Structure formats: structure tokens, C-alpha cells
Structure 1
Amino acid sequence: MLLLTELLKDWPCTVSGGGIRTSVTGITENSSRVQKGFVFVARKGGRNDGTIYIQQAIDQGAVAIVVDRTDLISLPDDITVVIVPDCKLFIAHACARFAGYPARRMKVIAVTGTNGKTTVTHFIGQLLQSLGNRPVVIGTTGIFIDGVKIDYDSPQMTTLPAEYLHPLLQKCEGMGVTHVVLEASSLGLASRRLDYCEIDIGILLNIGTDHYEEHGGKLAYILAKKRLSQMVTMMVVNGEDEQCVQMVQDTTTPVVYFGMNPLAGVPVSDLEKNFVIPGHYNRMNALAAMSALVVLGYSLDDVMQYCGQLQLPEGRLQQLERDGVKVYIDYAHTPDALQAVLCTLSTCCYGKLITVFGCGGNRDKGKRAEMGELAVLYSSNVIVTSDNPRNEDPLAIIGDILEGFGGDCSAVEVILDRKNAIRKAVFSAAPGDSVLIAGKGHEKTQQTADGILPFSDFEVAKRALFEKTFLDFK
């Protein structure tokens, strides 16, 4: 608990009404989370304006309202109104201060990039644990301490908002966590969720096609990613990605490269004998993780001895096999990621490669035809289906994908229902064939216009393999 005056100390603001020596019990920008003694930050979001929820926050016990505008409705005299230059910055600052700045007392590593963030964060966590540390990994698939998923009441977001992140770090510190490894999404960086979270190492993996529309264009997307280099003590950068190299050319932050680049601190050749997970992109993910450990002060020899034990996280090239049929579930939902996994599987598949995929709704439409073209290029057969259509018409999304095939293609089939598409792919596979189910990976739900429905690619594929064996036996 802090006094409001302590929370506002050294922060540019104008205060009116109420009193600044009021005790604060919490901070939130979500009016439904307000409790007695809370500060409510009425931030203007992409869809809603927090000012319309001010009265609700007051009714639930808010003692202060923070805004970055002056055009407010009249508020009761006993409610403190704080006007700040930027609500996004203020909530990041206030949540860190309220939690006691826990990030300062742990090593924090933040990973950004269009593809590979989840795999790299988990690889780093596994290496840190093997070397005697207690890491927490925070990202798309959840929160893991020492590799074990924990329950924590927070939204399912790649990068947690400040009001959830700093209390989590405070909790982790109390549990003896020494290192924090988190995914820094472009949206998280752009919305300032990681501001006032002291980051020791930033990792830049790659720049691909995703989230352009949400940012307002490619340049805004790249600038969001670039923010990480301005927030960290040291950068680890993919020396094989030209855009990544260009993004850090003018930074004053020290940079370590990984990959084939002659300047790379950890070159690809040092990994070949110990790493068993297939795919060049996974070797690059491992090199990024190893580089972070070397920057932390570990010797390359110490790190290398554990590389053979690295395991991919859930939904990343996750494999099922029965009666000679292999099924892979992968989160690949961008052209770069889909090409990487298809290229990997095409080199180790002795029979047909059958690909099931779709594209998400309300996301970058430009990638759809490109992903369709890639699927046909590498696969023997392709089944185009629904992914997370959200509020878009699933058939319209599929239509965009089909444009990548350049007209009719006998190797392509459309099955709108994702469950039926997966079952058709599995049932049509013969011994020696491989089935790739791409796009949703670890996800346990499907987002549709009718709401969020339970759905797991892994469970549907597992059931289909079992039923296939039963039918074949009969």
C-alpha cells in the first residue's frame, strides 16, 4: 500500500479534488477490476475510451482517476483527478512503483521478432534452469517457473499489461526467481507495457509479415520492434536478417550477433554436433538463446553441454505418430514461419506431405495468398480451412488464400470446418506420410463471430489417429 502522493512523486501531473495523501490499494485501467482504494487510469484504447467507465470505477471504490485529457464530466469533490501527459506511460510507471520495482532485482531478458519468440524464451528458460538458476518464462503459452506452468489471473496476451506484469514479478521474486524471460510483442512495445520494467538483454529475432494493419503499416510495426533496443542494456541480434541488422545500426546499445554473420558471437557451426531438433530456424532459435546466456556471463562450453536437452514448447513442431503416420502441430501463422516448417518437413518426409491451414480474421490480409502459394509449393496435398476467423467471414478469408494458387489446383481442397479438415487429412494419410496442421499450435480455443469456442488441434488430431487405427483394423 502506498499513499497517492508517493505514487505521484517526481511525475509530471496536475491534481484537483480529493486529496493526495489518500491510501492506494491498487492500480488498474480495467474498470471491472476496481476495488476500494484503487486508482483508475482512464486510458483511451483502440476500441474503447476509459473515460466512459469513470463513474463505474467510482461506484466500485476508486479514490483517484487518472486521465490525459481535460474534457471530463464533472466529478464528485472527494474524488482526486490526476491529469498526466500520457496514461500509457503513467500506468507503466505507477504499477512498477507500486510493486516495488521487482525487475531491478532480477535479470530480465525480453525477446521480440515476428516468429520464434515462444521457442527462444523457453530455450533460454531451459538453459538457465540447467545451469542452476530459477527462471520464469512469460509469453504466449502462459507462465512457467522452472518449466512448470503456473496459474495466474491475467489476460491471454503475449506481453502482459503493466498492471499484471509487475505484481507477477513481485510474486516471482518472493518465490526465489532469479531470471525473467519474456516475449515482447510489437503491440506490447508500442503500447508501452514494458516501460519501467528494467530489461538487461533484448533479443531481436526477425522481421516478417504480421500485425501490419494493427500498427497502421509496416514502418510503424518495425518502429515498435525497434523500441526494444532503446530499453535494454545489451542487444542480441540475428545477423542473418538484414532488416534486423539495419534496425540496430544506429543504436548506442552494445550489440552481439548470432548466426552466419562473421561478427557472430555464437556461430552456427558451434551448435551442429549437439542440437537434434530439426530445421534451420530452430537452430537459429537455439543460437539466440545460447547468445543470451553467453552475454549473461556463462562460457560457451558450459552452455553447449545442455543444448542436446532442449525441447520445443507446446504447439511448436509438436509430433504425434501412429502406425507410420506422423502428425505435426505448429503455430506457424505467418508466411515466414509456414515456409520454415514446410521446408523442414519436406526434407524429412518420405511419403506425402499433407498440409492443413487457414488464416486468422481481422489480421493482415496481405499474407493470405502468399501462405496459400507456399502451402502448394511444398505440399503434396493442401486442405484450406478456418483458423480463428474472429468477426470476418471464414469463406472470405479462404477466398483470399485461394488467390495464391493461381486458379484451380487439384492438390487443394476446401473444408470449412477445422475439425473435419484435420480428420480428413489424417484419414487420408498412409504409412510414411506426414500431416502438418498449422496456425493455432498450442491454442485451446477457436475465435469465431459466435464467440470463443473450445478447440485443440492436438486433441482433434490425436483422436483422429486413434480412430484411423480402429477403422484400419476393422
Structure 2
Amino acid sequence: MLFLTELIKDWPCTVNGGELRTVVTGITEDSSRVKKGCVFVARKGNQSDGVKYIKKAIEQGAAAIVIDRTNLTEIPADVVVITVSDCTKFMSHASAQLVGNPAKRMKMIAVTGTNGKTTVTHFIGQLLSKFGNRVAVIGTTGIFIDGVKIDYECPKMTTLPAEYLHPLLKKCVDENVSHIVLEASSLGLSSNRLDHCDIDIGILLNIGTDHYEEHGGKFAYINAKKRLIQMAKTFIVNNDDKECVKMVQNATVPLVYFGTNSSADVQVPELKMNPDILGHYNRMNTLAAISALLVLGYYLDDILLHCELLQLPEGRLQQLERDGVKVYVDYAHTPDALEAVLQTLSNSCYGRLITVFGCGGQRDKGKRAEMGELAVLYSSIVIVTSDNPRNEDPKAIISDIMEGFGGECSAIEAELDRKYAIRKAIFCAAPGDIVLIAGKGHEKSQHTADGLIPFSDLEEAARALSEKTFLDIKEINME
């Protein structure tokens, strides 16, 4: 807890009304979370404007209102109004201040890139744990301390908003965590969620085509990613990705390059990995993790001893197998990620590769036809289905994907219901075939126009495999 005067003393702002010697107990931009002594930040978001909820926040006991606009006459004169130039930056500053800037007391590693963030953060966490460190990994699949998922009330977002992140970091300090490894999404970076996190190591994995529309184009998307370069004390870069190399040309921080050619600082030609971890892209993910450990001062020979023990996180090439049929559930939802997985599985497939996938609604429409084209290029059978349609018509999304197939094809089918799409793929698979279910990975729900519906690709695949075995046995007995 701080006095309001202490919270704003180092921040450029204008203050009007109310009592500044008020004790602040929290800060939020969600009016439903406002309690007595809480500061309410009335930020204008993409979907709604916080100004609409100022009255509600005051009624619930808000100690002050933070705005980035003037002439809001509806605020009572006895309420403290703090006017700042950027609400998101102030939110980051104040959230850190309220809990004593916990990021300063741990090593902070932030990973950005279109694909691979989850895998790399978990690989780093696993390697650091092998050296006796207490590590927290924060990202798309949840929050883990020493590999164990913890319950923490927060939005399901890749990079947490500052009002949730800094109290979480404080919790980690209290539990003697020494290293934080987190995913830094482009949206998280562009909205200043990590501004007061004192990043020791930043990592740039790759640049693909996802999230262009959400940022307003490729230039804005890349600029969002580049923010991490300015924030980190040391920056690790994928030397094999030309766009990444170009992005760091004017960097003023120490750079470490990882990759497969001789110009990279970190290259391990004889890297031995867990045989269940397939694909060149996962080799690159491992090199990125190794690079982080090297920057932290660990020796390469010691790090390599543990690489064979690395495990992929949930929903990343997660494998089920029964009666000669292999099923892989993967989060691949961008053209680059889908191609990498398809290429990897096609190289190890002795039978047919059967692919089930869709595309999310209200997200980059430009990638849909491209992903359709890739699916049919590598697969024997493609079943196009719903992903997370949100408020968009699932049929329209599937139609956009089907444009990538270039005409009628007997090996391609559209099945609107994702459950039945998965069942069809598994029921038609024979021994030696591989079924890839792509797009949702670890997710336990499907986002539709009716809201969130419980749904797990892994659970549906396991159920279908079990029923397929039963049906096969029944057929044999009937014969």
C-alpha cells in the first residue's frame, strides 16, 4: 500500500480535486474489480471506453480516477482526477510501484516471435531448473513454477496486463523464485504491459504473418516486436531469419545470434535432443534456449547434458498413438507454424498424413487461403473445420480457407463441427497413418458467437481413438 502522493510523485501528470493523502490499495482498468482505495484507470480500449465506467468506479470506492483526456465534466469535484499522457504507461508504472518493483529482484527473460514462444520459454525454464534454480514460466499455456501449473486469477492472455503481472511477480519473489521466463506478445509489447519489468534477456525467434490486422499492418507489427530490443539488457536473435537480423541492425544493446550457419554465435551441429521432439523448428527453439543459458553464464557442455531431457509443453506436437495410428495435437495457427509441422510429420509418415484444421474468426483473414494451400500440399486428406470462430460466421471462414485449394478435390472435406471433424479423421486412419489436429493445441475451450464452450482437441482425439479401437474389435468379432 502507498499514499496516492507517493504513487504519482515520479510520474508526469496533472492532479485535480480530492484528497492526495489517500492510501491506495490497488489499481485496475476493470471497473468490476474496483474496491475502496483502488485507483481506476479509465483507458480507451478497442472494444469499450473506460470513461463510461467512471461513475460505477466512484460508487464502488475508487480512491482516484486516471484519465488521458481533459474536459470530463461528469467527475465530481471531490474525486481525485489524475491526467496522464498515456494510461497504459501509467498503469505499468503504478502496478510495479504498488508491489515494490519485484522484477528488479529476479532475472527476467522475455521471448517474442510469431511462433515458438511457448516452447522456448518452457525449454529455458526446464534447463534453469536442472541447474537448481527456482523458475516461473508465464505465457499462453498458463503460469508454472518449477514446472507445476499454479492457480492464479488472471485473464487468459499470452502477456498479462500490468495490473495482474506485477502482483504475480511479487508472489514469485515471496516464493523464492530467482528467474522469470515469459512470453512477450506483440500486443503485450505495443500496449506497454512489460514497460517496468527490467528485462535482462530478450529473445527474438522469428517474424511471420500473424496479427498484422490487429496492429494495422506489417510495419506496426514489427515495430511492436522491436520494442523488446530497447527494453532488454542483452538481446538474442535468430540468425537464420533475415527479418529478425534486419530488425536488430541499429540495436545499441549487446547481441547474441543463434542459428545453423557459421556466422552465428551459438551453433550446435551435434545437438542431441529427446527423440519425441521432432522438427528443425524445435531444434531452433532449443538453440534459442541454450543461448539464454549461455548469456546467464552457464557452460555449453553442462547445458547440453540436459537437452535430451527437454519436454515439449502441452499442445505442442502432443502425441497419442493406438493400433498403429499416431495423432498429433498442435497449436500451429499461422502459415509458418502449420508448414513447419506438416513438413516435419510428412517426413516421418509411412502412410497418409490426415490434417484437421481451421482458422480463428476476427483474425488475419489474409492467412486463410495460404494455410489451405499448405495443408493440401503436404496432406493426403484435409478436413477443414471450425477453430475459434468468435463472432464471425464459421462457414465464411471455411470458405476463405477453401480458396487456397484451387478447385474441387476429393481429398478435401469441410466439416463445420470440430468434434466430428476429428472423429472423421481418426476413424478413417489406418495403421501407419498420421492425423494432425492443428490450431488449438492446449486450449480447453472453443470461442464461438455464443461464448466459450468447453472443448479439448486432445480429449476428443483420445475419445475417438478409444471408440475406433472398440469398433475395430467389434468388426473383427462379427467377421
If the TM-score is normalised by the length of the shorter chain, which range does it land in?
Answer: over 0.9
Matches within 5 A, 1:259-408: 259-271=259-271, 273-276=272-275, 277-408=277-408
**Contact residue 115 and residue 205 of structure 2 kept, 8 A:** yes
Other-structure match for 1:52: 52
- The amino acid of 1:169's aligned partner reads L
SS at match of 2:269: helix
Residue 263 (structure 1) shift? 3.0
Counterparts of 1:344 and 1:115 in 2: how far apart (Å)?
15
**Contact residue 202 and residue 235 of structure 1 kept, 8 A:** yes
**Contact residue 441 and residue 457 of structure 1 kept, 8 A:** yes
Residue 21 (structure 1) shift? 1.2
Matches within 5 A, 1:370-449: 370-449=370-449
Residue 224 (structure 1) shift? 0.3
2:142 matched to 1:149?
no
**Contact residue 268 and residue 284 of structure 1 kept, 8 A:** no
**Contact residue 274 and residue 304 of structure 1 kept, 8 A:** no
Cα deviation per residue 1:412-469 (whole Å; 9 max; x = unaligned)?
0111100000000000000111100000000000001111100000000000000000
Residue 262 (structure 1) shift? 2.4
Residue 73 (structure 1) shift? 2.8
**Contact residue 355 and residue 381 of structure 1 kept, 8 A:** yes
Cα deviation per residue 1:199-248 (whole Å; 9 max; x = unaligned)?
00000000001111100011100100011000010000000000000000
% same residue: 74
Other-structure match for 1:253: 253
Other-structure match for 2:467: 467
**Contact residue 5 and residue 20 of structure 2 kept, 8 A:** yes
Cα deviation per residue 1:330-365 (whole Å; 9 max; x = unaligned)?
000000000000000001111110000000000001
Other-structure match for 1:452: 452
Other-structure match for 2:183: 183
SS at match of 2:111: strand
- The amino acid of 2:256's aligned partner reads V
SS at match of 1:367: helix
Residue 264 (structure 1) shift? 1.8
Counterparts of 2:434 and 2:191 in 1: how far apart (Å)?
41
2:84 matched to 1:84?
yes
Any stretches of 5+ residues in structure 1 without a counterpart?
none
Other-structure match for 1:241: 241
- The amino acid of 1:35's aligned partner reads K
SS at match of 1:88: helix
Residue 265 (structure 1) shift? 2.3
Counterparts of 1:399 and 1:326 in 2: how far apart (Å)?
29
Counterparts of 1:270 and 1:230 in 2: how far apart (Å)?
33
Counterparts of 2:267 and 2:225 in 1: how far apart (Å)?
24
Counterparts of 1:253 and 1:342 in 2: how far apart (Å)?
36
- The amino acid of 1:313's aligned partner reads P
RMSD: 0.8
Matches within 5 A, 1:208-219: 208-219=208-219
**Contact residue 275 and residue 283 of structure 1 kept, 8 A:** no
Counterparts of 2:259 and 2:143 in 1: how far apart (Å)?
28
SS at match of 2:40: strand
Counterparts of 1:20 and 1:417 in 2: how far apart (Å)?
56
Cα deviation per residue 1:19-49 (whole Å; 9 max; x = unaligned)?
2111101001110000000000111111111
TM-score normalised per structure 2: 0.98
Q: Tell me whether 166-175 or 76-85 shows the greater mean CA deviation.
A: 76-85
SS at match of 1:267: coil
Residue 71 (structure 1) shift? 2.6
Counterparts of 2:107 and 2:264 in 1: how far apart (Å)?
23
Residue 274 (structure 1) shift? 4.0
**Contact residue 103 and residue 197 of structure 1 kept, 8 A:** yes
Residue 253 (structure 1) shift? 1.1
TM-score normalised per structure 1: 0.99
Counterparts of 1:141 and 1:133 in 2: how far apart (Å)?
21
Counterparts of 2:375 and 2:263 in 1: how far apart (Å)?
35
SS at match of 2:128: helix
Residue 402 (structure 1) shift? 0.6
Other-structure match for 1:93: 93
Cα deviation per residue 1:302-351 (whole Å; 9 max; x = unaligned)?
11100000000000000000011000000000000000000000011111
Counterparts of 1:290 and 1:263 in 2: how far apart (Å)?
17
**Contact residue 159 and residue 184 of structure 1 kept, 8 A:** yes
2:46 matched to 1:38?
no
**Contact residue 88 and residue 191 of structure 2 kept, 8 A:** yes
SS at match of 1:392: coil
